[in-house]
Amino acid sequence: MELNTYSGVPRSEVARVFATACRLRFTQPTASKAVISAIVVAALRLLPTDDTPEGIALRIEQHQVKAAKAKSAEDSFCGELTRLGYKFPRESQQEGEVVTPDIRFDEPIFVLGQLCWWLEFKNYLGFRKNLYVVVKDKKQFLKYATQIGPGAVVYKLGYETSLVNIVGVATFREREVLQGLRKR
C-alpha cells in the first residue's frame, strides 16, 4: 500500500499570492469581508471539479447549505417588505405564470426612483467574472423585463458597476432598497 505524502505548496504559488497580498495591504479596500469572501468563493469554483465520491458528496452538502442561506436571506428581505406594508405574491405563489420572479407586484411601485413590477433577490455579489451566474441571470432578467415590464435585481452584497445593462432592469443593493422603502 503506497501512501501519498504531502510535499508542500510550490514556492511559485505562495510567492504570487503573497506578492498580491503585500501589494494590496496598503490600500483600504472599500469592499466588506463578505464581498471579498464572495469573490474568493467564485474564483474557487473555477478549480477542476473533484469527481470522487467524497468530492461529489461535499459539493452536494455545500450546495444545500448555500441554498438554505439564500432562502433564509430572501425570506428575510420579503418579510421586511411585508412589514413595510407591501403586498405581493412570491415566486411559489405565482401559479400559471410563465415567468416567476421572487416578488411580483400587483401594482408597480417605485424603488429608489425606479418603477418596478417585479424584484429578483440575489444572495450574493453580482460581478462579471462570476461568468456562469451572470450569463444565466441576464437571460432571466431579460425575460422578466420583456414579459412583465420594468423591475429590479436586489443583490444582498452589492454589484459591480454596469453589471446588468438591460433596459427596464435596475440593480440595487439590499441595504439601500430597504432604507429607501422605510422612508416612504
Contacts of 165 (CB under 8 A, 6+ apart): none
User: For the chain, which residues make up each domain, given as ranges?
Assistant: 11-67, 69-182
CA distances to 101, 108, 143, 147 from 98, in Å: 10, 19, 10, 8
Q: What is the pTM of this model?
A: 0.80
The H-assigned helical ranges of 2-52 are: 11-24, 33-44
Mean pLDDT per 10-residue segment, the chain (184 residues): 60 77 70 76 80 92 94 97 96 92 96 97 89 87 97 94 93 94 84
The cell for 153 is 435585481
Nearest to 162 by CA among 132, 137, 127: 127
Which CATH number does 69-182 carry?
A: 3.40.1350
The cell for 82 is 411585508
In this prediction, residue 93 carries a pLDDT of 95
